[in-house]
Homo-oligomer: A and B are copies of this chain.
Amino acid sequence: MTPLAPGATIGVLGGGQLARMLALAGARLGLKTHVYSPVADDPAFDVCAAQTRADFLDEAALAAFADKVDVVTYEFENVPARTAEVLEAHCPVRPNPRVLALTQDRLIEKQFVRGLGLSTAEFADVRDAQTLAAAVEALGRPSILKTRRFGYDGKGQARIADNGDLALTFAGLGGAACILESYVPFIKEISVVAARSATGEFRAYDVCENVHEHHILATTMAPAAVSPATATAAVEAARRIAGAADYVGVIAVEMFVVRREETEELVINEIAPRVHNSGHWTLDGAETSQFEQHMRAVAGWPLGSTRRHGVSVRMRNLIGHDADHWLQLLAEDGACLHLYGKSETRDGRKMGHVTRIER
């Protein structure tokens, strides 16, 4: 694909805050965004040049959408395979939908990562209470049972503790196909947010360090306090993953840092084939935001500089009623406030974030 010209239209599947920030970044560069989402009041509808409100399985709507845009991208990894297939018959889809198959299924994802010679937690395929019992026998306790598909923010997970009833735990996840993962005694969680262009150019932001609260990302700090060797290895792992998937766009790879005697080792936890919450700091804290970077990549454009501003950058999510303190945050010099324009504040819902740069 030759580079799209300014004025081209990027179709985005999904209309949440990630789509919204993609649309805002694209607009800065003269790109139009067409948002496709089934959710009538999704926040990205407020900032896009065109919109389709339809189900992801509405094939007529998908075809009409794909005919009106120059390339399609997505803000979430759970795009149904059939949706991607219908779209691809009409226009390019970036990142390529093969990566969806990889990242929608924790088992296939772990096998892919292992196949690249990278570390993951130990894992076992779990289809029923019997295979779960065998898996727990092999991986030990504590360990974590996860549905293979559709998990996010701690949903679709259960901890296998010393005394839990395995059949009950399995049933608690709805009887879905699962994966058991060994417990990883990590010292910190980091992520690499990076981009790969249509010509194979790869650029990573500083490795960042993430703290979760109640299974939801609470803060990200860039750069991560890890050794230079660990930072290099983390970026190389992301580069290998993106290359192997022939990836185009922004990708995020979450990793655990594990201390083994004197050295740090990396365990790949999860791949997100999209812009990522742990890259929100780049909006204010890097020369090119992850959103602009993604739009550049899917438009077939060169990637922008990933240099960080300042000494360090800290991003804090505003979850639920955290966002009620907007006036106080507006009055704080140097606090960069982002609110997502969601019509309703709910506990556990990401309403915005605030970035602070230490200069």
Give me the interface of A with B, judged by CB distance under 8 Å: 3, 6-7, 20, 23-24, 27-32, 45-49, 287, 296, 301-302, 304-305, 307, 309, 323, 326-327, 330-331, 333-334, 336-341, 343, 352
Asked if A334 contacts B305 (CB within 8 A), the reply is: yes
Contacts of A31 in B (CB 8 A): 341
Q: Output the least CB separation between A116 and chain B (Å).
A: 29
Asked if B309 contacts A330 (CB within 8 A), the reply is: no
Q: Output the least CB separation between A134 and chain B (Å).
A: 50
Asked if B30 contacts A341 (CB within 8 A), the reply is: yes
| Bound CA span A345–B339, Å | 34
Shortest 4 CB-CB contacts between residues of A and residues of B: A30-B339, A46-B49, A302-B331, A305-B333
Question: Known contacts A301-B327, A330-B301: does B20 contact A27 (CB below 8 Å)?
Answer: yes
| Bound CA span A339–B326, Å | 30
Contacts of A24 in B (CB 8 A): 24, 27-28, 47
Q: Output the least CB separation between A174 and chain B (Å).
A: 35
25 A-B residue pairings within 8 Å (CB atoms): A6-B339, A7-B343, A23-B47, A24-B27, A24-B28, A24-B47, A27-B47, A28-B337, A28-B338, A29-B330, A29-B337, A29-B338, A30-B326, A30-B341, A31-B341, A32-B46, A46-B49, A47-B47, A47-B48, A301-B330, A302-B331, A304-B330, A305-B333, A307-B333, A309-B309
Q: Output the least CB separation between A197 and chain B (Å).
A: 11
Asked if B6 contacts A27 (CB within 8 A), the reply is: no
Instruction: List the B residue with the shortest CB-CB distance to A306.
Output: B333
Asked if A30 contacts B352 (CB within 8 A), the reply is: yes
Contacts of A304 in B (CB 8 A): 330, 333
Contacts of A32 in B (CB 8 A): 46, 341
| Bound CA span A345–B255, Å | 47
| Bound CA span A7–B344, Å | 10
Contacts of A330 in B (CB 8 A): 29, 296, 301-302, 304
Asked if A3 contacts B338 (CB within 8 A), the reply is: no
Question: Known contacts A296-B330, A302-B330: does B29 contact A46 (CB below 8 Å)?
Answer: no
Asked if A27 contacts B341 (CB within 8 A), the reply is: yes
| Bound CA span A20–B7, Å | 14
Q: Output the least CB separation between A302 and chain B (Å).
A: 4
Question: Known contacts A338-B28, A341-B32: does B46 contact A327 (CB below 8 Å)?
Answer: no
Instruction: List the B residue with the shortest CB-CB distance to A30.
Output: B339
- Please give 19 more A-B residue pairs, beta carbons under 8 A apart, in addition to A3-B327, A47-B47: A7-B341, A20-B27, A23-B47, A24-B27, A27-B46, A27-B47, A27-B341, A28-B338, A29-B330, A30-B341, A31-B341, A45-B49, A47-B49, A287-B333, A296-B330, A304-B330, A307-B333, A307-B334, A309-B309
Q: Output the least CB separation between A115 and chain B (Å).
A: 34
Q: Output the least CB separation between A31 and chain B (Å).
A: 8
Asked if A339 contacts B20 (CB within 8 A), the reply is: no
Contacts of A337 in B (CB 8 A): 28-29
| Bound CA span A323–B29, Å | 11
Instruction: List the B residue with the shortest CB-CB distance to A23.
Output: B47
Q: Output the least CB separation between A337 and chain B (Å).
A: 6
Contacts of A3 in B (CB 8 A): 327
Instruction: List the B residue with the shortest CB-CB distance to A344.
Output: B7
